[in-house]
A and B are shown apart, each in its own frame.
Chain A
Amino acid sequence: MNPDFHYYATYCAAFLAGYTHDECLEIAYSDQLVDLCSETLLRKLKAPTAAATTQLQLELMDTRTDIVGLQNITRIWASFHFLPRDLNAEPNRRCSKTYINKYRLICGPNGDLLKSTVELARGKGPQAVGVAMHILADTWAHRYFAGTPSLVINNTDSYFSELIADGDGFTERKITFRHSASAPDEPENSIYTSSLPVSSEKSIMNLGHGRAGHLPDYSFIRYKYLPAWGDYEETVKDNPSDYKNAFCQMIYAMKYLRGSVDTFLTEQYDYAAIADIEEEIDTILMKRQPDASEDWKALGERLSGREIAPFDIERYQQEYLLAKEGEADETFLGRFILAALAQKSMVTNRIYRSGSMLAGYSVTYRRDRSLGIKAFRKLIDRKKEGDRE
């Protein structure tokens, strides 16, 4: 997904869930920041790099694909962009344990981890809500791909067709992929950019949906293809429908997070909240445009009657940099970092407990001693403070 959905559409969903204009802006900002909070940015802020929620292209080029590098990649991408749907999933046939561990990281909506993600964000402020909404939305956009470099899971072949609405049905148009970074996508001709085909299992070219290009990030597109893990069964990805479900599930989840719903259940969508604007949302979702920011922005401003300021990555940086010792955690970015650490800690732990080392070791907090990466001690300190209170 792109800033159009992660920033402007999240603002709309938050407003429909009952948040105020300022709260909506903070949630939308945190949602979009997940796509920008790299180790490079955290180093600039002198913040713990363990809180990174994404990796820049240059960082990925530099990343070693040894075991430690691969675990770091998996922790980031599986926790924030490709949340695994079912860590106990079994392929249709008997497979090696190595294969099964990767298969279980395939992203999808309405999994147990999504429920844990939303529940983890409750009562922790707009930053945690934004992080959770980013992850929720991506479970729809990035479904069928895994947040770990893997040829056998994430690869695609040339069997790729776009389904273009034509009256009551659809016409098929072959999708052509090219690998030139500078060439823009051409939706009118179904020509898109994707990562290079590399037959190495652990190449970063085989991370996430790179082999399918930006197709999962466009709300308007419907396509069918053969995912590498799919046993030659044709898979149809209906983005307009998936994005609409994501939007309505976000409204429901945010109603839970602000306390107007008691429990969060999966497969619940607040369609009633968009009844009056459903047609407009459908129009935005189905309009063939790589960036729908203007349309979502206009809808959000009409809903709240307030101007939505564009995303500015530097908006909260001075506050964090100028904070006194011990007070940085209470700033906007400090709270975002804590939310990111908590999410990464939770997902890594669940993957580890499923018997997979793909995201690395996870140690459980014990009262008598502290273990694990130093940056995560912030979470322990928070817990201790909470226990004392």
Chain B
Amino acid sequence: MSKFQHFRNALLGILMVFLSLLLPAVPEDSYYLIALIISLMLMVHGFRMLWFYLRMARYMVGGKSILIQSIFVLDFGLLTVSMVSMNSITILLYLLGVFAFSGVIEILRAFEAKRVGAALWKFKFISGCISVLCAVVMLVVVIFIGSNDILVYGYSISLAYAGAVRIITAFRKTAIVYIQ
């Protein structure tokens, strides 16, 4: 990781922890803020990937994957921003879905890391499992108990956990293999 990437990870982590504190304080309005921030981040990232594809990656073997990724990220950003006009429970369920999805991706990346012999695969795997588990537990609570408050607190805890993981990652030394 470059210094900028370390800084960006730390900043995002702090932002996530801050939002996790904000969410229970103003439960009615904070969903919109979260959805807006996530959509903005996704769209900026999607546009940057699309620009990279158009200028460079379209000439490369396997470059289509960059295009697909950019469209996927961009679509995701637009979908998120469209959620702002919906009621709060829909947004919250959507955010839970995003959270669970990020957990699944983390688990898949952990398996990939294990396959190639990287030492940190267990950390990724546990982190992904916790994310998915939290999302599933909260969904069960909404369906069977019908309490939105528990959902808000549950989501806040999950967000705080994800933020803390990101902060730890930002300050962790990253082993780099370079072949000279």
Chain A residues at the B interface, C-beta cutoff of 8 Å: 35, 54, 57, 60-61, 64-65, 91, 93, 95-96, 98-99, 102, 151-153, 155, 157, 177-181, 183, 193-196, 199, 201, 204-205, 207-210, 212-214, 226-232
Compute how far the CA of A180 lies from the CA of B121 in the bound complex, rounded to whole angstroms.
Answer: 12
Asked if residues B61 and A57 are in contact (CB atoms below 8 Å), the reply is: no
**Nearest chain B CB to A379 CB, angstrom units:** 27
Q: How far does the Cβ of B173 sit from chain A's closest Cβ, in whole Å?
A: 9
Find out whether the CB atom of B179 lies under 8 angstroms from the CB atom of A152: no
**Contact between B2 and A195 (Cβ–Cβ < 8 Å)?**
no
B177 touches A194 (CB 8 A): yes
Are A155 and B55 closer than 8 Å at their CB atoms?
no
- Asked if B176 contacts A60 (CB within 8 A), the reply is yes
A65/B2 in contact, CB under 8 A: yes
Q: Is B175 an interface residue (CB 8 A)?
A: yes
* B172 sits at the interface (CB 8 A): no
Which A residues touch B119, using CB under 8 A?
Answer: 180
Contact residue among A93, A179, A181, A228 (Cβ-Cβ distance under 8 Å from B62): A228
CB distance from B64 to the nearest CB of A (A): 11
Number of B residues, CB within 8 Å of A: 24
Q: Are B178's CB and A183's CB within 8 A? A: no
B145 adjacent to chain A (CB < 8 Å)? no
| Pair B57/A151 contact, Cβ less than 8 Å | yes
Contact with A155, one of B52, B62, B69, B179 (Cβ below 8 angstroms): B62
Q: What are 22 residue pairs bridging A and B, where the CB atoms are less than 8 Å apart in the complex?
A: A54-B180, A64-B3, A65-B2, A98-B56, A151-B56, A151-B57, A151-B60, A152-B56, A157-B62, A179-B116, A180-B177, A181-B177, A193-B179, A194-B177, A195-B176, A195-B178, A195-B179, A201-B56, A205-B177, A210-B178, A228-B60, A229-B61
CB distance from B81 to the nearest CB of A (A): 24
Cβ of A208: which chain B residues have Cβ within 8 Å of it? 179-180
- Interface centre among B4, B60, B116, by most chain A C-beta atoms within 10 angstroms, is B60
| B61→A228 contact, CB < 8 A | yes
* Contact A196/B60 with A65-B2, A180-B117, A201-B52 known, Cβ cut-off 8 Å: no
A-contacting residues, B32-78, CB 8 Å: 52, 55-57, 59-63, 66, 69
Given contacts A180-B117, A183-B117, contact A194 B59 (CB under 8 A): no
Q: What CA separation (Å) do A201 and B66 show in the bound complex?
A: 11
Inter-chain contact A99/B59, CB cutoff 8 Å: yes
Bound CA–CA A229/B63 (angstroms) = 10
Whether A178 touches B60, Cβ cut-off 8 Å, given contacts A207-B178, A209-B179, is no
Beyond the given A57-B178, A96-B55, A229-B61, please list 13 additional residue pairs across the A-B interface where CB-CB is below 8 A: A64-B3, A93-B59, A98-B55, A99-B55, A99-B59, A152-B60, A180-B119, A193-B177, A194-B177, A201-B57, A207-B178, A210-B177, A226-B61
CB neighbours (8 Å) of A210 from chain B are: 177-179
B118 contacts A91, C-beta separation under 8 Å? no
Residue pairs across A and B with CB atoms within 8 Å: the count is: 95
Per-position 1/0 for B99-113, Cβ under 8 A of A: 000000000000000
Residues on B with beta carbons closer than 8 Å to the beta carbon of A205: 176-178
Contacts of A61 in B (CB 8 A): 176, 178
In the complex, are the beta carbons of B118 and A179 less than 8 A apart? yes
Residues of A contacting B177 with CB < 8 Å?
A: 179-181, 193-196, 205, 210
A199 touches B60 (CB 8 A): no
State A57–B116 Cα separation when bound (angstroms): 20
Chain A residue contacts of B57, Cβ below 8 A = 151-152, 201
- Among residues of A, the one whose C-beta sits closest to the C-beta of B177 is A181
Query: Which residues does chain B contribute within 8 Å of A151, judged by CB atoms?
Result: 56-57, 60
- CB of B116 within 8 A of CB of A229, answer no
Q: Name the B residues within 8 Å of A226 (CB-CB).
A: 61
Are B179's CB and A64's CB within 8 A? no
- Closest-by-CB residue of A relative to B176 is A61
Most buried by A among B56, B175, B178: B178
B151-180 interface code vs A (CB 8 A; 1 in, 0 out): 000000000000000000000000111111
B111-128 residues at the A interface, CB under 8 angstroms: 116-119
Closest to A2 in B: B180
For B175, give its contact among A99, A102, A181 (CB under 8 Å). A181
Contact call B178/A204, Cβ cutoff below 8 A:
yes
Task: Judge whether B179 and A194 touch: CB under 8 Å.
Answer: yes
Q: How far is the CB of A235 from chain B (nearest CB, A)?
A: 10
Q: Are B117 and A179 in contact (CB under 8 A)?
A: yes
**Whole-angstrom distance from the CB of B71 to the nearest CB of chain A?**
15
Contact B56 A177 (CB under 8 A): no
Rounded to whole Å, the gap between the CB of A331 and the closest CB of chain B is 26
B2 touches A232 (CB 8 A): no
Q: Is the CB of A152 within 8 A of B176?
A: no
Q: How far is the CB of B3 from chain A (nearest CB, A)?
A: 7
A214's partner among B3, B117, B179 (CB-CB below 8 A) is B179
